[in-house]
């Protein structure tokens, strides 16, 4: 019977790992559909960002209550899963609490820590469910996250966490009762910090019934964890994984710094100094593209941002355009970008390479009205707990509107023409402009 369980566990583990690998490989491929981008700067500063922003949740602590709850859930998720190593080895080898004999009393200390974190995760998730569905925190219950899949996704994850943590504590409670009965195969470790208080609920069961409950909880827990693992890539909770590389590649420049378009700079340079213009450009060379119309025109960091988005709504709640009733939602910008890159990836999976589908991120997903509403104030970037930059995507799409489609308000076009012809935003001659500049 034990051999059958081992074989079943190994099959389940391999199948779950393979499915997860396939999906993660697809996401990695989708991210690198974006253009290459360099990330200069001190690597020590980047690792500091990983520690403070991704692991330490630094930006979350601007709002203490959700920050503390989120920290418990995040830390619990990471640390409790250390125990998964023992559970996996027990499943493969047919053992029970493999590390207990080697760690002695330290094992009980570790289990106590895991159980304390499990309890804090359970309580925090229940509070989050209440905040989302009963008290209805404004940024989570209005606008583009008011209902539909984003709300369902968040609730599914929170309920799954509650169930998984409950199963862990039930498993340990029954294990402790079986130790009291000196049941075979159950290592004597002594009482556990939290589950010892749950154990009396199962004390009236026979040894066989306790084994059945303990084993059922063990199997449901590990199966639930593996199911959660494979649900993760389809959920906003992928940020649990991608927050770390996203924090590492966060810009180290001053907040709000914008980068000029190199092609435009070169055009100006060649106009002013023709001798510097390249002479070996092929006659049939493609015209440069300005800005971004679709996800392939964005950088791979922009696409990583889209997949790392937590959909927490802090960016939209901080956006002055959104607050004043404009259509712009930085959170929607990121979700639309992720939806479009997923659509492009599915197209590639079917056709082996991208086949034009008549759609683009600009216009089909993100409207001109949304882009024009942005004030470029950088509030969304400052608010994001994992250093996502919706503004960068907005600027690239606006550049395409301006440079490729000439799709700008008349006032903007008039100002641009004045700058091009008069070197000033106003309608004045260059000599008048020089006189004004020196006045």
- CATH tag, 2-31+63-237: 1.20.950
- CATH tag, 292-407: 1.10.1060
Whether the Cβ atoms of residue 162 and residue 125 lie closer than 8 Å to each other: yes
User: For residue 329, what are its two tokens?
Assistant: 């939602």
Q: C-alpha 194: how far from its chain's center?
A: 32
Whether the Cβ atoms of residue 355 and residue 348 lie closer than 8 Å to each other: no
Helix, strand, coil shares of the chain, percent, nearest 5, are 70, 0, 30
3: phi then psi, degrees, rounded to nearest 5: -60, -40
| 3-class secondary-structure state, position 95 | coil
Q: Which residue from 130, 50, 32, 115 is spatially nearest to 79, judged by alpha carbons? A: 115
CB atoms within 10 A of CB 242: 22
Provide CATH 1.20.950 ranges for the chain: 2-31+63-237
Q: What contacts 214, CB < 8 A, 6 or more positions away? A: 171, 174, 175, 178
Least confident of 61-65, 125-129, 141-145, 212-216: 141-145
DSSP string, 397-415: HHHHHHHTT--S-HHHHHH
Provide CATH 1.10.1060 ranges for the chain: 292-407
Is residue 243 predicted with pLDDT exceeding 70?
yes
Instruction: Match 């966060």 to its residue by tokens.
Output: 250
Quote the CA–CA distance of 193 and 172 in Å, as a whole number.
Answer: 10
Q: C-alpha 181: how far from its chain's center?
A: 46
Q: Around 432, how many Cα atoms within 13 Å sit in the side-chain half-sphere?
A: 9
Kindly state the DSSP code that residue 185 receives in the 8-state scheme.
T
Q: What contacts 92, CB < 8 A, 6 or more positions away? A: 6, 9, 10, 13
Alpha-carbon radius of gyration of the chain: 28
Quote the CA–CA distance of 38 and 28 in Å, as a whole number.
Answer: 18
Question: pTM score, two decimals?
Answer: 0.86
Is residue 24 predicted with pLDDT exceeding 90?
yes
Quote the CA–CA distance of 27 and 432 in Å, as a whole number.
Answer: 56
Share of the chain above pLDDT 70, in %: 97
Is residue 41 predicted with pLDDT exceeding 70?
yes
pLDDT of residue 1: 62
Query: pLDDT digits over 262-308, tens only?
Result: 877 887 777 778 777 777 767 677 777 889 999 999 999 999 999 99
Least confident of 97-111, 235-249, 272-286: 272-286
Residue 121 belongs to what H/E stretch?
Answer: helix 105-133
Instruction: Match 């378009």 to its residue by tokens.
Output: 261
Quote the CA–CA distance of 404 and 293 in Å, as a whole number.
Answer: 9
Average pLDDT of every residue of the chain: 88
Whether the Cβ atoms of residue 298 and residue 362 lie closer than 8 Å to each other: no
Least confident of 154-168, 170-184, 243-257, 370-384: 243-257
Long-range contacts (CB closer than 8 Å, 24 or more residues apart) made by 323-326 = 326/373
Instruction: Match 């906003």 to its residue by tokens.
Output: 236
Quote the CA–CA distance of 52 and 54 in Å, as a whole number.
Answer: 6
Is residue 171 predicted with pLDDT exceeding 80?
yes
Q: Which residue from 44, 61, 41 is spatially nearest to 385, judged by alpha carbons? A: 61
User: For residue 319, what are its two tokens?
Assistant: 């956006």
Region of residue 325 (left: phi > 0; alpha: psi -120 to 50; beta: else): left
Query: pLDDT digits over 76-97, tens only?
Result: 777 877 788 889 999 999 888 8
pLDDT of residue 145: 60
Quote the CA–CA distance of 439 and 437 in Å, as a whole number.
Answer: 6
In 362-402, DSSP assigns E strands to none
Q: Which residue from 189, 127, 129, 198 is spatially nearest to 159, judged by alpha carbons? A: 129
Quick one: pLDDT band at residue 210, thresholds 50, 70, 90? Answer: very high
pLDDT of residue 147: 66
Q: Across residues 220-245, what is the average pLDDT?
A: 90
How many residues would you count in the chain? 439
Quote the CA–CA distance of 368 and 250 in Å, as a whole number.
Answer: 27
Higher pLDDT, 404 or 142: 404
pLDDT of residue 417: 83
Mapping DSSP onto H, E and C, the string for 20-36 reads: HHHHHHHHHHHHCCCEC
Is residue 143 predicted with pLDDT exceeding 80?
no
pLDDT of residue 146: 62
């Amino acid at each position: 019977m034990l051999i059958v369980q081992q074989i079943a566990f190994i099959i389940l583990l391999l199948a779950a790992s393979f499915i997860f690998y396939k999906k993660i490989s697809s996401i990695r491929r989708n991210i690198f559909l974006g253009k290459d981008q360099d990330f200069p700067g001190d690597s020590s500063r980047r690792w500091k960002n990983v520690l403070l922003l991704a692991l330490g949740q630094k930006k979350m602590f601007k709002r203490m209550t959700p920050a503390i709850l989120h920290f418990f859930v995040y830390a619990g998720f990471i640390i409790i899963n250390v125990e998964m190593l023992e559970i996996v080895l027990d499943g493969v080898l047919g053992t029970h609490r493999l590390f207990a004999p080697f760690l002695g009393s330290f094992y009980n200390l570790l289990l106590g820590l895991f159980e304390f974190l499990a309890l804090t995760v359970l309580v925090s998730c229940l509070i989050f469910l209440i905040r989302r569905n009963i008290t209805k925190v404004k940024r989570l219950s209005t606008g583009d996250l008011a209902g539909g899949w984003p709300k369902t996704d968040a609730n599914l994850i929170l309920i799954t966490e509650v169930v998984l943590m409950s199963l862990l504590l039930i498993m340990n409670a029954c294990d402790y009762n079986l130790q009291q009965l000196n049941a075979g195969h159950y290592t004597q470790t002594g009482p556990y910090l939290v589950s010892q208080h749950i154990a009396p609920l199962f004390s009236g069961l026979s040894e066989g019934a306790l084994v059945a409950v303990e084993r059922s909880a063990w199997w449901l827990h590990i199966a639930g964890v593996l199911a959660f693992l494979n649900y993760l890539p389809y959920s906003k909770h992928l940020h649990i994984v991608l927050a770390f590389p996203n924090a590492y590649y966060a810009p180290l420049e001053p907040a709000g710094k914008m980068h000029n378009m190199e092609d435009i700079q070169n055009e100006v340079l060649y106009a002013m100094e023709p001798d510097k213009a390249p002479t070996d450009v092929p006659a049939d060379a493609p015209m440069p593209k300005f800005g971004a119309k679709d996800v392939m025109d964005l950088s791979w960091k922009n696409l990583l941002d889209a997949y790392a988005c937590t959909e927490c709504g802090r960016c939209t709640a901080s956006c002055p355009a959104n607050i004043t009733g404009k259509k712009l939602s930085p959170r929607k910008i990121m979700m639309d970008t992720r939806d479009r890159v997923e659509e492009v990836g599915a197209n590639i999976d079917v056709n082996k390479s991208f086949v034009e589908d008549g759609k683009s991120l600009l216009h089909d997903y993100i409207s001109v009205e949304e882009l024009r509403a942005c004030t470029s104030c950088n509030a969304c970037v400052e608010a994001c707990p994992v250093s996502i930059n919706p503004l960068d995507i907005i600027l690239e799409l606006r550049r395409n509107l301006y440079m490729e489609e000439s799709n700008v308000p008349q006032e903007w076009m008039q100002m641009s023409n004045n700058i091009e012809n008069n070197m000033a935003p106003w309608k004045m001659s260059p000599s008048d402009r020089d006189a004004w500049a020196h006045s």
